[in-house]
Amino acid sequence: MRQNAETAERCSIARSLEVLGQKWSVLVLREAILRGRTRFAEFRAELGVAPDVLTDRLARLVEAGILERRPYREAGERERVEYVLTEAGWALKPVLAAISAWGDEYRPSGFGPAAIYTERETGAPVRLAFLDGEGGELDPEDVVAVPGPGATVTA
Amino acid sequence: MRQNAETAERCSIARSLEVLGQKWSVLVLREAILRGRTRFAEFRAELGVAPDVLTDRLARLVEAGILERRPYREAGERERVEYVLTEAGWALKPVLAAISAWGDEYRPSGFGPAAIYTERETGAPVRLAFLDGEGGELDPEDVVAVPGPGATVTA
DNA sequence: CAGGCTGAGTTGGATTCTCCAACTCAGTTG
DNA sequence: CAACTGAGTTGGAGAATCCAACTCAGCCTG
């Protein structure tokens, strides 16, 4: 994924895609955020990803501040490394939820959703929605994007 | 992006990534959803993407049911093609909003956000949040994913 | 203390994808 | 009929991805 300097500069979507634009990065994050995986071998086994690609994705995610490389030691084992989510990493949960919700609706597998987002305490299903300032729910059609301070003036 | 049959099968994130896992696909969608672009030349000019890649991404997005290929004719011009969002395409707005919000917070450009999501009528800023069944807002930390009917039983 | 095991990677080589630049093609205008 | 414009193709170089096999460090067993 070569970088196009112009597009990457100011748009937060383009910048986010530097790290989220790769399939395996997102699947690693799925395992980390949704299933609590932290270890190289776990990711490898769950995803079936090639180890060199996994090495690269983990390193990128660490560099992006999404994962943190942390040594650990289990009884009777030597020290090893695990990858734990940072605050920025956990903050991607809504992104995964949004992708997941879209996929469930518009790319159904025929088996029903593989993951359901629920409230931790009650187990009741939750959904993602746009809210106005007072916490009222908005129809997505009534939400528009307007240029902000970082928008390019010329284009 | 070769397909790994196992991972792509049931997880809606993996399936969604078949089309959203490529950087230019998402940027095309950004232009379409946020700025209303529909034409090959517009995408090309805004994104600076190579035309063969753009051809490929548009075709994939059409095949995925996200864009629809539609002929149009402007006065004194021959018939041309434009790409308009389907319902499934518009439904990706929350995905872009989620990515955008994350990028603004955790990968700041130093220029402020390039796009701000607002309510169409009032121009008031909106945000994306998890809601429980009664429409009450939830802390993302209180949201967990549990296996659904499509989850693999063995793994 | 030799040998095996395990987790976390490297390395090599084939395949595929992405990028850029240049070119094509079809209808429209002058 | 020559030039223009939008929507693409085509060719070749470079990068990313894949798989398989290998490494490497420390712990445990015999």
The answer to whether the CB atoms of A117 and B130 lie below 8 A apart is yes
Tell whether B55 and B68 lie within a shared domain.
yes
Contacts of A80 (CB under 8 A, 6+ apart): A39, A71, A72, A73, A74
Average pLDDT over residues B73-88: 90
CB contact under 8 A, A114 and B20: no
Q: Mean pLDDT over residues B6-17, rounded?
A: 73
pLDDT at A5: 39
- How far, in Å, CA of B91 to CA of A106, rounded? 9
pLDDT, mean of residues B17-35: 91
Closest residue on chain B to A22 (Cα): B21
CA distance A42 to chain B (A): 12
pLDDT for res A4: 44
- pLDDT digits 0-9 by tens, A38-60: 999 999 999 989 999 999 999 99
State whether B82 and B29 are in the same domain.
Answer: yes
CB atoms within 10 A of CB B57: 23
Q: Looking at per-residue confidence, does B110 or A127 come out higher?
A: A127
Task: Please check the confidence at residue B34 and state whether its pLDDT lies above 90.
Answer: yes
What's the whole-number mean pLDDT along residues B60-81? 90
Is the minimum CB–CB distance between B71 and chain A shorter than 8 Å?
no
Question: Which nt is closest to the CA of B40, judged by C1'?
Answer: D7
Q: How many CB pairs under 8 A join A and B?
A: 292
> Rounded to the nearest 5°, which phi and psi values hold at B11?
-80, 125
Same domain, B32 and B74: yes
The band of B7, judged by pLDDT with boundaries at 50, 70 and 90, is very low
Answer yes or no: are the C-beta atoms of A155 and B37 closer than 8 Å: no
Q: Which domain holds residue B139?
A: 92-143
Asked if the structure places residue B136 within a domain, the reply is: yes
What is the token pair recorded at A40? 């190289």
Instruction: Give the pLDDT of residue B28.
Output: 94
Rounded Cα distance, B148 and A67, in Å: 27
When divided into structural domains, chain B yields a total of 2
Type of residue at A23: K
- Cβ distance of B119 and A131 shorter than 8 Å: no
